[in-house]
Amino acid sequence: MAEVLAAPRDGPLLEDPRTWLGTLTYRSEACGRPSPAALRELVAQARVRNRRLGITGMLLFEDGRFLQVLEGPPESLDAVWSSIARDPRHRRIEVLNRSLLPVRIYAGWDMQFFARSGHSRPAAPVGERELAAEQAEAVRLARRDAAEELAGRLIALVGQGLAPAEVVGRVLEPAARALGDLWLRDEVTDLELTIALGTLQRAGHGLHLASARPPVDRTHRPCILLASAPGEPHLTGPALLADLFDEAGWDAALCFPQTDDELVGELLALQPEALDIGLSEAMPRARALGPLAETVRRCRAAWPDDGLVVSVGGRLFAEGRAHAADVGADVARRGLTGAVDEVARRVEHHRLVCACGRQRRLPI
């Protein structure tokens, strides 16, 4: 019987578990060297049963190792998982994530299968060259709207030891910029760029759901509102950041306002400790700086006690072409990775100065 190495505890029960799907991600080692025909047969049989039981997901086979994401009604998932866990065709099964999902990520895929080069090298740390290849692949898959396949590759990178936040910062974020460069060279249209960015966003969310851990147990979950700059059509940055903040134990709310008034309305309704406003991660929106400064001013004016941490981001800031002070923000993200720590530091600072009754800002 296959040996199960580790199984993190289940996530918390959600309000109505009957409407949620179970999801399980694991990796394992193949016993022997399965031939392409044996793999095809395994997948074909799995698909028949998965279709019958309402299971969807993805199976990756690379260098003698499997990585699989399964999702479906909890009782179906339990049935399939109990078969897989005792299947003698693999061993050293390690459960990476087991939780509940509100929606299917792999809708329409009774088991999407990817096999990559069969030469057996040990799982090496991911190097710069491999990351560059993953970025290029992310651009290619985003242009084909292949979010599930891209999510599979991202999950595999986590299987190789990269943290999800690193995958976002070192693959998805550069891919968004590369897509912006294609637009600047007139190689993709506005619409193609927006669709491709949406694909990056969906793949990033798939990665988040497949690798999410049970929420950090905290009495106080700090709250952040993540907004696209009013009217900004590229939503990738705030959406990816929402997952990163959620992973770090924040209560992260998203909004995509069309006007400053809409954003201020959301802010007043939510009363968060921090607000992040994102310009496009793909395009350098130099002309958006003036309107963004006005947006920040309006948001701050809605907070008379100066208790709101405001961060801004997007390609313009990531490339150092604009700074927090240019728009009156506290923080300008130099990228998506690291944003959580930086905002947390500012929020903590605000708490301290409020507790001391002093209002002194950190130098930017």
Ligand X SMILES: Cc1cc2nc3c(=O)[nH]c(=O)nc-3n(C[C@H](O)[C@H](O)[C@H](O)COP(=O)(O)O)c2cc1C
The residues of the shown chain that bind ligand X, judged by CB under 6 A, are: 42, 46, 49-50, 59, 66, 68, 70, 80, 83-84, 87, 89-90, 111
Smaller CB distance to ligand X: residue 54 or 291? 54
Smaller CB distance to ligand X: residue 93 or 150? 93
CA–CA separation, 323 vs 191, rounded Å?
29
Is residue 212 within 8 A of residue 247, CB to CB? The reply is yes
Residue 28 CB, shortest distance to ligand X, in Å, is 6
CA–CA separation, 196 vs 179, rounded Å?
8
Smaller CB distance to ligand X: residue 59 or 138? 59
Residue 99 CB, shortest distance to ligand X, in Å, is 18
Rg, the chain, Cα only: 22
Tell me how many degrees the CA angle 265-250-208 measures, rounded to the nearest 5. 105
Q: Residue 251 is which amino acid?
A: D
Residue 124 CB, shortest distance to ligand X, in Å, is 22
Smaller CB distance to ligand X: residue 27 or 346? 27
CA–CA separation, 174 vs 9, rounded Å?
34
Residue 79 CB, shortest distance to ligand X, in Å, is 8
SS3 percent helix, strand, coil of the chain, rounded to 5, is: 45, 20, 35
Smaller CB distance to ligand X: residue 24 or 255? 24
The full DSSP string for 307-346 is --EEEEESHHHHTTSS-HHHHT-SEE-SSSTTHHHHHHHH
Contacts of 129 (CB under 8 A, 6+ apart): none
CA–CA separation, 102 vs 104, rounded Å?
7
Smaller CB distance to ligand X: residue 111 or 347? 111
- Starting at the edge strand found earlier in the chain, the sheet holding 112-116 runs 4-6, 90-101, 21-30, 65-72, 56-62, 112-116
Residue 1 CB, shortest distance to ligand X, in Å, is 11
Smaller CB distance to ligand X: residue 109 or 245? 109
Residue 49 CB, shortest distance to ligand X, in Å, is 3
- Residue 261 token pair: 């008034």
Smaller CB distance to ligand X: residue 80 or 227? 80
Residue 40 CB, shortest distance to ligand X, in Å, is 13
CA–CA separation, 144 vs 196, rounded Å?
8
Residue 26 CB, shortest distance to ligand X, in Å, is 9
- Quick one: how far is CA 353 from the chain centroid? 33
